[in-house]
Amino acid sequence: MIKNMKNNGFYEIYNKYGPLVLRRCRALLKDEDLARQAAQAVIIHIMDSPIQIKELCAGLFYDMATIICYEKSVDGKLGTKSFEKDSFTA
């Protein structure tokens, strides 16, 4: 799936999962610009992840949005931390 995900590209994945991720980011960050930045960071982070993702699911995007928004609210930085393999399950 990873190979197909990279071939299908950012926009296809963003169109499928972006609305869910953006709603989650808006709810957590309460700022439209930050929510849009965080949503894009979620998609990019999942696409660039070294972890073998066999199947994409909404839960993965929802959880990653929560993590990135939490980091943004704590650190004031958007998606700059690296994740360990045990940070989330795929």
Nearest Cα residue to 26 out of 16, 35, 17: 35
Q: Average of pLDDT values for 2-18? A: 68
Q: Average of pLDDT values for 33-44? A: 90
pTM of the shown model: 0.69
Q: Average of pLDDT values for 55-59? A: 84
Give the C-alpha distances (Å, rounded to integers) separating 42 from 28, 57: 14, 13
